[in-house]
Amino acid sequence: MVLAEIAEEVKKCTLCELFRTATNAVPGEGNPEARVMFIGEAPGWHEDKQGKPFVGNSGKFLTELIESAGLERDDVFITNIVKHRPPGNRDPLPDEIAACAGYLERQIAAIDPDVIVTLGRHSMNRYFPGERISKIHGKPKRFGTRLVVPMYHPAAALHNGSLRSTIEDDFKQLPRFLAEQDTERDKRRQEEERPEQGTLF
């Protein structure tokens, strides 16, 4: 399975210096056929210890948010743009993000989600360079057949309680985004099935 192969490569990865200080790589986990994929920034202390994404306090909040959108954590796929923990939970550096980019590209290609939710400004910058998360959070943009939705990182609500309701409201839009994707897929299918117009003679 492609995702398992990527995970094994990540565990042995030495493309940047982060592997030297990390306890475990955190490739990501979830449904290999997920319709929704969450991309965070980097593993934290708890994730580094367990080798799993979003298992600390912000992970518990993320699970609650996913369930508030009518989904289960097992329905989605969760990963980060960087697969090893930066020392002291600092922000990932550009060269570290670049080193991990190939793994993320392959994960996205293997899962082929309908909706990608970026969590935090570093993963947002992958699709919305130069934008401010305070300005565009919860506003989807279409990239080919996929919707990408920038959202605040769940940890933001733990540091700033006033953001909690904003984050909750953004997540409650997920069912609508999935419904839009269903409509778009049906439309594309109808166009593909429509016979070409033209004369027979």
Question: What is the domain range of residue 45?
Answer: 2-184
Residue 199 pLDDT > 80: no
Residue 191's pLDDT band (cuts 50, 70, 90): confident
**Does 199 fall in a domain?**
no
What pLDDT was estimated at residue 57? Answer: 94
> How far is 67 from 28, CA to CA, in rounded Å?
19
pLDDT tens for 97-110 read 999 999 999 999 99
Q: What sign does the dihedral 148-149-153-154 (CA atoms) show? A: negative
Residue 10 pLDDT > 90: yes
> How far is 177 from 27, CA to CA, in rounded Å?
26
> How far is 110 from 116, CA to CA, in rounded Å?
13
Residue 125 pLDDT > 70: yes
**Does 105 fall in a domain?**
yes
Residue 198 pLDDT > 60: no
What pLDDT was estimated at residue 201? Answer: 45
Residue ranges of alpha helices (H) inside the chain are 2-11, 45-50, 57-68, 94-111, 121-127, 133-136, 154-159, 164-171, 174-193
Residue 160's pLDDT band (cuts 50, 70, 90): very high
> How far is 49 from 57, CA to CA, in rounded Å?
14
pLDDT tens for 13-66 read 999 999 999 999 999 999 999 999 999 999 999 999 999 999 999 999 999 999
Tally of domains in the chain: 1
**Does 152 fall in a domain?**
yes
**Does 201 fall in a domain?**
no
**Does 189 fall in a domain?**
no
Q: Which amino acid is at 24?
A: N
**Does 40 fall in a domain?**
yes
pTM of the model: 0.93
